[in-house]
Structure 1
Amino acid sequence: MKLVDPIRDIKKINAMKNYLKGKDIRDYTMFVLGINIALRISDLLNLKWSDVLKENKRSFKEVNLIEKKTKKERKIKLNKTSQKALRELLNNSDTLSMDDYIFKSREGNNKPLTRQQALNILKNGAKVVGIEDNVGTHTLRKTWGYHAWKNGFNPALIMENLNHSNLNVTKRYLGIRQDDINDLYDSLNI
Structure 2
Amino acid sequence: MEFVQPIRDKAKIDAMKKLLKASNMRDYVLFTLGINSGLRISDLLTLTVGDVAIKGKKTPSISDRITLKEAKTGKTKSFPLGDTAKKAIREYLKSRKYDCSDPEQRSTPLFPSRKRGVEKGSRPISRIQAYRILNDVAKVVGIEERIGTHTLRKTFAYHAYQSGYDLSMIQKLLNHSSPGVTLRYIGITQDEMDNVYLSLNL
For normalisation by structure 2, the TM-score amounts to 0.88
Residues 1:184 and 1:84: Cα distance change in structure 2 (over 3 Å): farther
Aligned length: 190
Structure 1 unaligned regions, length at least 5: none
Q: Does 1:99 align with 2:86?
A: no
2:163 is matched with 151
| Structure 1 residue 180, shift from structure 2 partner | 2.5
Identity %: 46
Task: Measure, in 1, the Cα distance between the counterparts of 2:46 and 2:106.
Answer: 13
Task: Measure, in 2, the Cα distance between the counterparts of 1:53 and 1:183.
Answer: 44
Equivalent residue runs for 1:1-190 within 5 Å: 3-55=3-55, 56=57, 57-96=60-99, 97-107=105-115, 108-109=118-119, 110-185=122-197, 188=200, 190=202
Equivalent residue letter for 2:35: I
| Structure 1 residue 182, shift from structure 2 partner | 5.0
CA RMSD of aligned residues (A): 1.6
Equivalent residue letter for 1:35: I
Task: Measure, in 1, the Cα distance between the counterparts of 2:193 and 2:12.
Answer: 21
Task: Give the conservation status (yes or no) of the 8 Å contact 2:127–2:149.
Answer: yes
Residues 1:188 and 1:98: Cα distance change in structure 2 (over 3 Å): farther
Query: Segments of 4+ in structure 1 off by > 6 A?
Result: none
Task: Measure, in 2, the Cα distance between the counterparts of 1:179 and 1:128.
Answer: 27
Task: Give the conservation status (yes or no) of the 8 Å contact 2:113–2:123.
Answer: yes
Residues 1:162 and 1:94: Cα distance change in structure 2 (over 3 Å): same
Query: Which 10-residue stretch deviates more, 95-104 or 121-130?
Result: 95-104
Task: Measure, in 1, the Cα distance between the counterparts of 2:199 and 2:163.
Answer: 13
For normalisation by structure 1, the TM-score amounts to 0.93
| Structure 1 residue 184, shift from structure 2 partner | 3.7
Residues 1:134 and 1:155: Cα distance change in structure 2 (over 3 Å): same
Structure 2 unaligned regions, length at least 5: 100-104
| Structure 1 residue 43, shift from structure 2 partner | 0.3
| Structure 1 residue 76, shift from structure 2 partner | 1.2
